[in-house]
A = this chain, B = another copy of it.
Amino acid sequence: MLTHRFLLGRARDALSEEERQVIENAVSSVRQIPPRTQIQRRGELVTHSVMLLDGYMCRYLDDREGYRQLVSLQVPGDFVDLHGFPMKRLDHDVASLGPCTIATFEHRTLAEILERYPRLTRWLWFSTLLDAAIHREWIFRLGRLGAEGRVAHFFCELYARLEMVGLARDGAFALPATQADVAEACGITGVHANRVLRLMRERGFATFRSGEVEITDMPKLKALGEFDPIYLYGQHSAWVAEMREGND
């Protein structure tokens, strides 16, 4: 099932079998994307949305000097630009990090779901709002934490999100990114990211090397990043409970 991970990370069992099939059947095509490839450009009109099946993508804004600020990092199962459906136009760029596999959903198909499946609609809506909640936490990360805390928080978040879709365990997960990418996500320079990463390695908190993150002291890392995963709305959220009820 193509949409397997998406459902996994967003309370799959809150949906009926029929609803899951509706999502699955809404896929219009699947294709591969090479590393470091832009797939959407700020300001462009969009007529389809993309779900990330495999690999990592990022969304970012450019500053005047051409430096990027990542506003989001997408992991397998994420509906990368579902917000493009109600918005029709994106306010940021989207690109792959490493090689990716994506599924495409035409907006006219999503419009049909909107017409016929209110519960499913609310669930897709929820999915886009989860992104917004993550945005808020990024604001917190950049506004209140120092460089080390930001990286710590970033790693904690990625671990939690990847764990939900079965792509992280024992404190380790893949991250096909350079130190400069991490820097762009954390609002610091590449040079400083290097220093911070070395520090975290030396202190035994976490290691980031050759495309993999290994968290060696989760409690310390969480404390450093002031990380509380409540904003990721895990499986046991009140929302899921209500959706399940409605399922009876």
Among listed A27-35, A157-165, A233-241, interface-contacting one: A233-241
Within 8 Å by CB of A69, from B72, B88, B132, B144, lies B144
- Chain A positions near chain B (C-beta within 8 angstroms): 42-43, 45, 59, 61, 63-64, 67, 69-72, 83, 86-89, 91-92, 114-115, 118, 121-123, 125-126, 128-133, 135-140, 142-145, 186-187, 226, 230-231, 233, 237-239, 242
What is the bound-complex CA distance between A237 and B91, given in angstroms?
12
Which B residue sits closest to A242, measured CB to CB?
Answer: B88
Within the complex, the shortest CB–CB distance from A159 to chain B, in Å, comes to: 18
Determine whether the beta carbon of A140 is less than 8 Å from that of B71: yes
A87: contacting residue among B71, B140, B239, CB under 8 A: B239
C-alpha gap A129/B72 in the complex (Å): 15
Q: How far is the CB of A68 from chain B (nearest CB, A)?
A: 9
Which of the residues B64, B128, B187, B230 comes within 8 Å of A125, measured between beta carbons?
B128
Residues of B within 8 A of A88 (CB): 237-239, 242
Query: Closest CB of chain B to A114's CB: distance in Å?
Result: 5
Q: Known interface pairs A86-B122, A88-B239. Does A63 touch B144 (Cβ–Cβ under 8 Å)?
A: yes
* In-complex Cβ contact of A239 among B63, B89, B144 (8 A): B89
Instruction: Give every chain B residue within 8 A of A139 (Cβ-Cβ).
Output: 61, 69, 71, 135, 138-139, 142
In the bound complex, how far is the Cα of B144 from the Cα of A187, in angstroms? 6
